[in-house]
Amino acid sequence: MRIGEAIKLPITAVDSKQLLLHVIGKGNKERALPLTEVMLDMLREVWKTHRSSRWLFPSQMIVTPLSYGSARAAFVKARSECGFDHRFRPHSLRHSFATHLLEQGVDIRIIQILLGHSSIRSTEVYTHLSEPLREDLRRLLHQTTEGLFEGRRPHHG
């Protein structure tokens, strides 16, 4: 999820019965993201810290959503505490999420939906060959070509 999408989440975006999070993305397009029980529990714990009747992530005034600047500052603080440098940005989380899904064999069209991309071309940016994907490709190529040249002499022209 983008920072701008997260900070505007009303508490009504959480559908605990169906384990979904309803997000309004770019162009006012809504998408439903799956939640796990663990994620739902974490969101409930966050809500208990402020008990806003409207916002999942409210500002200190509780009646308005968290500002982009405050969310960004929280990210920078967390990034620093984790030992990452300035090159690790909020978008890095989206990129890592998409890459991990690809490495797990999730169809790129599903990833497109989860990221809220209207065009598959936007999602294709994430299809770079990470090392696990390279290793999978090597394994597949080995299986495909194993024994192909056994018993044959190379032909020199």
Catalytic residue flag (residue 100): no
Query: Is there a catalytic annotation at residue 8?
Result: no
Q: Which residue among 89, 94, 95, 100 is the active-site one?
A: 94
Distance CA 16, CA 25 (A): 20
Domains of the chain: 1-83 (1.10.443.10), 89-157 (no CATH)
The better pLDDT of the pair 136, 118 is held by: 118
Q: What is residue 50's DSSP assignment?
A: T
User: 83-110: per-residue pLDDT in tens?
Assistant: 999 999 998 888 888 888 888 888 889 9
Is there a catalytic annotation at residue 17?
no
**pTM for this prediction:** 0.70
Other beta carbons less than 10 A from residue 141's beta carbon = 10
94: left (phi over 0), alpha (psi -120 to 50) or beta: alpha
126 is catalytic: yes
Q: Give catalytic status of residue 2 as yes or no.
A: yes
